[in-house]
Amino acid sequence: MASARVSKTKTAIRNAALELFAVYGYKGTSVRKIASKVGIRESALYNHFKNKEAIFLTVCADIFTTPFSKKNIQEEAKKGKKFLANFVVQYKLVSFDANKEKLFRIMMIELLQDQTLRQNFLNEFHHHNITLLSEAFFVMMQSGLIRSSDPMFMANEFLAPLFYYRLQITLFRIDAEPTTALSTLFEKHVDFFWESVIV
Q: What is the pLDDT of residues 108-136, one digit of tens each?
A: 888 888 888 788 778 777 888 899 999 99
Q: Which of 155, 10, 173, 159 is nearest to 90 (CA)?
A: 159
Question: For residue 48, what pLDDT is reported?
Answer: 94
User: Taking the model in full, what pTM does it have?
Assistant: 0.78
CA–CA dist 42, 44 (Å, integer): 5
> 2-49 in CATH: which number?
1.10.10.60
Select the more confidently predicted residue: 102 or 29.
29
- List every span in the chain annotated with CATH 1.10.10.60: 2-49
Phi/psi of residue 30, nearest 5 degrees: -100, 160
Closest CA to 106 of 168, 14, 22: 22
Q: How many helices (H) and strands (E) does the chain have?
A: 11, 0
Higher pLDDT: 187 or 120? It is: 187
Of the CA atoms within 13 Å of residue 131, those in its CB half-sphere come to 9
Q: Give the 3-state secondary structure percentages of the chain, helix then strand then coil, rounded to 5.
A: 75, 0, 20
In sequence order, what are the residues at sequence separation of 6 or more whose Cβ sits closer than 8 angstroms to the Cβ of residue 110?
Answer: 25, 26, 56, 117
Decide if 33 contacts 20 (C-beta within 8 A).
yes
Task: Read off the amino acid at residue 27.
Answer: K
Q: What is the pLDDT of residues 169-180, one digit of tens each?
A: 989 988 999 999
| Calpha distance 128→111 (Å, rounded) | 17
Question: What does each C-alpha distance from 125 to 56, 65, 69 come to in angstroms?
Answer: 13, 8, 13
Domain with CATH 1.10.357 in the chain: 59-197
d(C-alpha 153, C-alpha 109), whole Å: 27
Q: Can you give the C-alpha Rg of the chain in angstroms?
A: 19
- Which fold does the domain 59-197 belong to in CATH? Tetracycline Repressor; domain 2 (1.10.357)
- Local confidence band at 74 (pLDDT 50, 70, 90 cut-offs): confident
